[in-house]
Structure 1
Amino acid sequence: MRIIDIKTFPVDCFRTNWVFVKVYTDEGITGVGEATLEYKEKALIGAVEHIKESLVGQNPLNIEKIWHDTYRDAYWRGGAVLMSALSAVEMALWDILGKALNVPIYQFLGGKVNDKVRIYVNGWFAGAKEPKEFGEKAKIAVERGVTAMKWDPFGKNYMEISNAELDKALQCVAAVREAVGDQIDLLIEGHGRFNVPTGIKIAKELEQFKPMFFEEPVPPDNLDALKEVKTKSPVAIAAGERLYTRWDYREMFDKMAADYIQPDISHAGGIMELKKISAEAECRYIPFAPHNPSGPVANAATLQLAASCPNFCILEIMYSDVEWRKDVTTENLHYQDGCITISDKPGLGLEINEGECLRHPYQPHTLRHYTGALTDIRPAKTEFYF
């Protein structure tokens, strides 16, 4: 079997663009991956084209060799763009292997530890601006069976937050806690926006609401700063969505800088790289909670990975999405009691619909984190997909 082509399919999904990658072989077996990288899609597509130059003609089943050679030959190693391109191609190669042997990917990773995985939802708050609105939307999510939810209540603040703005953020958290009760897990997102003293201050104020964790309290490029917040925080700290490969995570683990780790399968190297990272976390008794706010292909790949990880804890997923999500792939999620069942279909267990992808081409989108538009995460017309 030989690789004959690799194509990218950017698909507008309102807040960003999904980027699906499809690998074609001379035996007619194809594989799909996802490289969704918020707001840098053109660079990402170019990186996939560079990878394609060296992969055409190679055996797609030599996954470890292809990954190693591609990573080594980049010279300027790592980073969001190159690693996202490699991650998507790697996923697609596993998909091809699973289809060729007619087994789900988790079988290659040691088989199932988990038949289903617990999820927490993101995006449930779409359109909310005031604490009362967050509470109302949280109550609706719980009525749909949600048992854990995440959001960023900190507006457009960066590095520091005034007492007035912090009070408003805490009112928002209080409104959600009151609306959903004590049995629902709340996960508070910081988006890497605060300095050390502000991160510590916020963490101490959050303790009263018993959050599952406070995510990315400080920017991702200084793990000593993260460790400082973790050391003084009375609540658990989660981080790692903007770390790439096991080499980045080595420093995270050496410092024990986070209580939960959150590598993203679309950015940190793909399925096997996350399996290696999760194993490193397991021997340090750190829960594995993958970052996963992307599209259906990344979600399918993360579910296959989660099936085989003993220290898997909880998986992020978007609560609702653009109405064409159901058309661009054959995704079919089974959701019950706060969990999603893991597919037993060959490979990743889904296909992309190329024609439907082309109907929703790339659209430019900008970062919302510092503009006050964080909750504008969904269009007026959306669909629940679990």
Structure 2
Amino acid sequence: MTAVDRIEHARLRVLRITDKTHWVFLELAFASGATGLGEASLHGRERLLVDAALAHLPAWLGGAPLPDFDRPVPLPLATIATAFDVACRDAAARREGKPLAAALGAPAEVRIPLYANINRRTRDRTPAGHAASAEDALAAGFAAVKIAPFDEVTPALSDDAEGRAALERGLERIAAVRGALGGEHRLLVDCHWRFAPDLAWRLVEAVREHDLYWLECPVAETQAHIPLLADMRRALNASGTLLAGLEEFSGAPAFLAFAEAYDVMMPDMKYVGGVDEMLRTGRALADRGIAVSPHNPTGPVCHAASLHLSAALPGFSMLEVQFDETPLFFDLGRPSLPGFAGGASDLPIAAGLGLDLDEEQAERLCVLDLTLRPSP
């Protein structure tokens, strides 16, 4: 950043999207008139995010360095730092008059394969409700669907009668969705770290009959669980299922520490550390034969950034999208994001990320609006 184009201020806004969902956006305004946009949504941890922004953004606005992602960085700090970096890169690409993907050297004519996360749009949590959502995703052109079926499972449950009953409720939802998808479409199952190790092993055995494409985040992602995850990976691979995870990690070294544990890793453009850190992570994982499938279940700004980075990302496989949670996914951005025709997306074509927020909509939804300026 040059002195001529210093950052004059940052605006952090929290928008209430549904009773379950808040999206958080960071906007930077530069002295030249350039602007940049990033997303910092952090589900259920907005207070921690705001605290990190208040503590660190004024220094970054004045030119202080971002955190060193070669070392562990707390998630709220990683989130606001990633949004800051994305907003700076958005502004830089806008100055060049190029879409971010083009500024990164990616081909312009590319379609990004998507899979539909149907979890939040599935208000009817019965097996039939999950199957109906999966059918809607198929009708919209998706060939891969992800569900989070284990509502009743918690890490406190063991492989006993209570734990098995909770597991069975989730397996009934999986069976219903597999029936809706048929055998030719990919089914992905997200566990959200809900399983204790003993019940997780029963899960691994039970899902064999359902022909999952991948199983995601079965147990807490700690260093102590790396051997367990590696063993689970081998067992799943023996029946043709991949093991995926690490959606809330930041910095390439943190991902590499789990290289033996996962077939697919899921860096997120809200948490990973920024544009260059996402590319560095992708290169490091691709070198080790690990597929990269960015985590992307939130708002339109992260989706735009994820589309651009997916076009340039080594080892890229497919991109998540939160399917049909709210029309605001398309209505909040101007111009609107490309659609999901055929289960894939074109890249945004305008400069930078390719969108701004619709101010009328943003003002109506806003529940917190902070303006921060550089430290003296």
- TM bucket (normalised to shorter chain) is 0.7 to 0.9
From the superposition, tell whether residues 174 and 114 of structure 1 become closer, same or farther in structure 2 (CA, over 3 Å).
Answer: farther
* Residue 168 of structure 1: how far off its partner (Å): 2.8
From the superposition, tell whether residues 259 and 77 of structure 1 become closer, same or farther in structure 2 (CA, over 3 Å).
Answer: closer
Matches within 5 A, 1:117-266: 117-123=112-118, 126-159=122-155, 160=158, 162-222=163-223, 223-224=225-226, 225-233=228-236, 234=239, 235-253=241-259, 256-266=260-270
Establish whether residue 106 from structure 1 lines up as the match of residue 101 from structure 2. yes
Query: 1:117–1:341: 8 Å Cα contact kept in structure 2?
Result: yes
For this pair of structures, how many residues does the alignment match? 351
* Residue 321 of structure 1: how far off its partner (Å): 3.0
Matches within 5 A, 1:1-386: 1-14=5-18, 15-58=20-63, 69-72=65-68, 78-112=73-107, 115-123=110-118, 126-159=122-155, 160=158, 162-222=163-223, 223-224=225-226, 225-233=228-236, 234=239, 235-253=241-259, 256-330=260-334, 331-362=336-367
Answer with 216-225 or 149-158: which moved more: 216-225
From the superposition, tell whether residues 321 and 21 of structure 1 become closer, same or farther in structure 2 (CA, over 3 Å).
Answer: same
* Residue 45 of structure 1: how far off its partner (Å): 2.1
Gaps of 5+ in 1: 59-65, 364-386
Query: 2:279–2:314: 8 Å Cα contact kept in structure 1?
Result: no
* Residue 99 of structure 1: how far off its partner (Å): 0.4
Q: Which residue does the alignment assign to 2:373?
A: none
Query: 1:271–1:302: 8 Å Cα contact kept in structure 2?
Result: no
Gaps of 5+ in 2: 369-376
Query: 2:304–2:337: 8 Å Cα contact kept in structure 1?
Result: no
| Deviations 1:195-234, CA, capped at 9 Å, x for gaps | 2232222122112221110000111223413223223334
Partner Cα separation in structure 1 for residue 45 and residue 109 of structure 2: 34
Sequence identity percentage: 25
Q: Which residue does the alignment assign to 1:375?
A: none
* Residue 102 of structure 1: how far off its partner (Å): 0.6
* Residue 260 of structure 1: how far off its partner (Å): 0.3
SS of the aligned residue for 2:36 comes to: strand
Partner Cα separation in structure 1 for residue 143 and residue 232 of structure 2: 27
Query: 2:244–2:265: 8 Å Cα contact kept in structure 1?
Result: yes
Answer with 197-206 or 273-282: which moved more: 197-206
Answer with 142-151 or 230-239: which moved more: 230-239
SS of the aligned residue for 1:252 comes to: coil
| Deviations 1:26-81, CA, capped at 9 Å, x for gaps | 111100000100111122123223333223354xxxxxxx6xx2204x9x950110
* Residue 328 of structure 1: how far off its partner (Å): 2.9
> TM-score scaled to structure 1, two decimals?
0.85
Partner Cα separation in structure 1 for residue 332 and residue 132 of structure 2: 31
Query: 1:114–1:308: 8 Å Cα contact kept in structure 2?
Result: no
Q: What amino acid is aligned across from residue 140 of structure 1 in structure 2?
A: D
Misfit runs of 4+, over 6 Å: none
**Structure 1 vs Structure 2 CA RMSD:** 2.2
